[in-house]
Amino acid sequence: MQPILEIHHLRKRFSHLDAVRDVSFQVQPGICFGLLGPNGAGKTTTMEIVEDIIEATSGEILYNGHRRTATFREEIGIQFQHTSLLNFLTIEETLATFAGLFSTPADTEELSRRCNLDGIKKQRNDKLSGGQTQRLMLALALINQPRLIFLDEPSTGLDPQSRRNLWDIIRQLKEEGRTLILTTHSMEEAEYLCDEIAIMDQGTIIANGSPEELIRQYGGGSSIILPGTINKQQLDGLPFSTLKQNGEIVIHTDEIHQGLSSLMERNIDLRGISIHSANLEDVFLHLTGKKLRE
């Protein structure tokens, strides 16, 4: 299948800083593709180059197999991390204003329903909460009925309920066959939304693949954590690696159910047990030696 986007050896230099260094990746149509990494990793700069907002120092970007033309900006939708709106306009008026910029805009009433704005469309922009503003930003990104949508940190600053509501809308868009590219530093967001992920650090991509592939390759398996009061001699001969860490006994295994079965066969007291399944946080820690939030 022809990728909807192909990025080859992208580089962006600001003065004496290489913000993006030899970045290459492809995005297949109909998926949610994530750029995952900490603040300053180069995610937003990469997005802005692909969106044709800023120029690359070098590299090539292909859209549907060809170089981007003047119509590219009209065919995509962008939800910016920060956007200034006219405070004196209502949601309804803002949607109508943006719809007037395109020859074939989406139906604004349908957009209001889709983005859960129906009940507040008479509210002015300066009276909106963070979650309401983000839903309006998403509606504006969809106003021209794009098949390719860019989302820059779409849920930053949202409370858990607002975040989940936004994620549900994004998943509905993907189910319609639209292609979404998002930047995030949220592991949970990346695992929930993305079919493929490119992990960025210090301006370059250090790993890419599906969340499952990355976790399997770099996550280090899962862990069964036992209280340190367990007699470690009871664990001798287990076909798993064990170590004592922070007053607890940690058993590393790729198969949680096999590890639990082995412990139960030895009548080991499992009260106080906890289980840690490998996730993208473990992947990032393995690849960079530091936690993402640092």
Domain ranges of the chain: 5-216, 221-277
Q: Quick check: 61 and 6 in contact, CB under 8 A?
A: yes
Under the banding of pLDDT at 50, 70 and 90, the label for residue 268 is confident
CA 181 to chain centroid, in Å, comes to 8
**Which CATH fold topology does 5-216 show?**
Rossmann fold (3.40.50)
Quote the crossing angle between the two packed helices 130-141 and 91-99, to the nearest 10°: 20
pLDDT at 142: 95
Mean pLDDT for 140-156 is 93
Residue 103 has pLDDT above 70, yes or no: yes
* Long-range contacts of 4-7, Cβ-Cβ distance < 8 Å, separation of 24 or more: 4/28, 4/29, 4/63, 4/64, 4/147, 4/148, 4/179, 5/50, 5/61, 5/62, 5/63, 5/148, 5/179, 5/181, 6/60, 6/61, 6/62, 6/65, 7/46, 7/50, 7/59, 7/60, 7/61
Domain 221-277 has CATH 2.60.120: no
Sign of the CA dihedral with 246 first, then 252, 258, and 262 last? negative
Nearest to 27 by CA among 58, 53, 51: 51
- How far is 19 from 150, CA to CA, in rounded Å? 20
pLDDT at 10: 96
For the entire predicted model, the pTM comes to 0.84
Of 142-156, 214-228, 239-253, which has the strongest mean pLDDT?
142-156
Mean pLDDT for 26-49 is 93
